[in-house]
Amino acid sequence: MFSTFNLPDYSIIWDVNGDGVTDKQNTATFTYVYKEAKLYDVNVRFPGLNNYLYTFPVRIEQSDVPVCEVLSDFIA
């Protein structure tokens, strides 16, 4: 799902569940497991680029635990 932004050498700040807390920082590859079926707002910020907050919704619809595993593998 989070495959590449083609922005090597930039810091990346992830809030993958929309709670306002940084879940991952300065990493291009990570896995996040959503444990509840609902709509999440994923927030991404690139401090070295423009520091804008980019937000996009991710809807998790299954109710099994774990619900979804998201793998990010940025190509630098």
Instruction: Give domain status of residue 36, yes or no.
Output: yes
Domain count, the chain: 1
Instruction: Give domain status of residue 74, yes or no.
Output: no
pLDDT digits (tens, 9 = 90+) for 21-32: 999 888 766 788
Instruction: Give domain status of residue 19, yes or no.
Output: yes
Instruction: Give domain status of residue 72, yes or no.
Output: no
Instruction: Give domain status of residue 69, yes or no.
Output: no
Instruction: Give domain status of residue 45, yes or no.
Output: yes
Contact assessment for residue 61 and residue 38, using Cβ atoms and an 8 Å cutoff: no
pLDDT digits (tens, 9 = 90+) for 33-76: 888 888 999 999 888 778 889 999 999 886 556 656 767 665 54
Instruction: Give domain status of residue 50, yes or no.
Output: yes
Give the per-residue pLDDT at 67. Answer: 59
Domain hosting residue 26, numbered range: 13-61
Give the per-residue pLDDT at 17. Answer: 92
pLDDT digits (tens, 9 = 90+) for 7-26: 556 678 899 999 999 998 88
Q: Where are the beta strands (DSSP E) in the chain?
A: 13-15, 24-25, 29-34, 39-45, 53-59, 68-73
Number of H helices, E strands in the chain: 0, 6
Biggest CA pair distance of the chain = 38
